[in-house]
Structure 1
Amino acid sequence: MSLHLELGRTGERLASDYLEASGYLILERNWVYGRAEVDLIAWFENKLIFVEVKTRRSVLHGEPEDFVDWKKERQLEMASSVYIARRQHQGEIRFDIVAIVFENKDLYHINHIEDAFWPG
């Protein structure tokens, strides 16, 4: 596996562990619809939460959350609409970002941004 894919999978695992430790129930990991992938789908405080995980080795080129652009937001919106319809969910939803930056192999920082964006 390439280094950037390995880093991404590590970040998704860390984000999942972090959210679970915070009381979130992880419903799906890497849920795919068409060309869109939702890294994590969780349930917390009666809300369905779609989570984009961004992991970087440094902030030299910007914070990880800065790399969630309008195109990614549209993909998440499309995938979430399908997920909501399939599950017949009629309650609240939220889009979060979990940004992870590694200082070295064993030291990292997690920034959980709740309600990070609203597509469309």
Structure 2
Amino acid sequence: MAEHNEFGKEGETAAADFLTEKGYSILHRNWRCGKKELDIVAKYNNELIVVEVKSRKDIRFGNPEEAVNDRKIRHIIASTDAYLRKFAIDLPVRFDIITVVGQEAPFQIEHIADAFYSPIW
């Protein structure tokens, strides 16, 4: 596996661990349905939390959250719709971003709750 893929997995693990420590229940990691994919799906305070994880070794080329553009948001929303239908979930949905920055653990982690909204819900 390519080095950047391994680093991305480390970032997602760090993000999931961070959420678990904060009391979130992780329902799925790297959930896939065809071409649709969600990094982390969690439950917290009777809400479904969809988390996009962005990992970077440094911020020389910008902050990680800047990579979550309109196209990516549309993809996340479509994937979330598929997830809700597949598991027949009727909960409010919140979209968060977790950024993971650093060469190795311990990483600098930032949790951006309500990072964006869907016009669907």
Give the TM-score, by structure 2 length: 0.93
SS in 1 for 2:115: coil
Where in structure 2 are there 5+ consecutive unaligned residues? none
Which residue pairs with 2:81 in the alignment? Answer: 81
Which residue pairs with 1:29 in the alignment? Answer: 29
TM-aligned CA deviation for residue 34 of structure 1: 2.2
Question: What root-mean-square deviation, in Å, do the aligned CA atoms of Structure 1 and Structure 2 show?
Answer: 1.1
Which residue pairs with 2:49 in the alignment? Answer: 49
SS in 2 for 1:114: strand
TM-aligned CA deviation for residue 36 of structure 1: 2.2
Which residue pairs with 1:117 in the alignment? Answer: 116
Provide the rounded CA distance (Å) in 2 between the counterparts of 1:97 and 1:2: 24
State the number of aligned residues: 119
Moved over 6 A (4+): none
TM-aligned CA deviation for residue 118 of structure 1: 1.5
TM-aligned CA deviation for residue 119 of structure 1: 3.6
Which residue pairs with 1:58 in the alignment? Answer: 58
TM-aligned CA deviation for residue 55 of structure 1: 0.3
Q: Which deviations, in whole Å up to 9, do the C-alpha atoms of 1:45-101 show, x marking residues without a partner?
A: 000011100000000000011101111111111110011112222221001000011
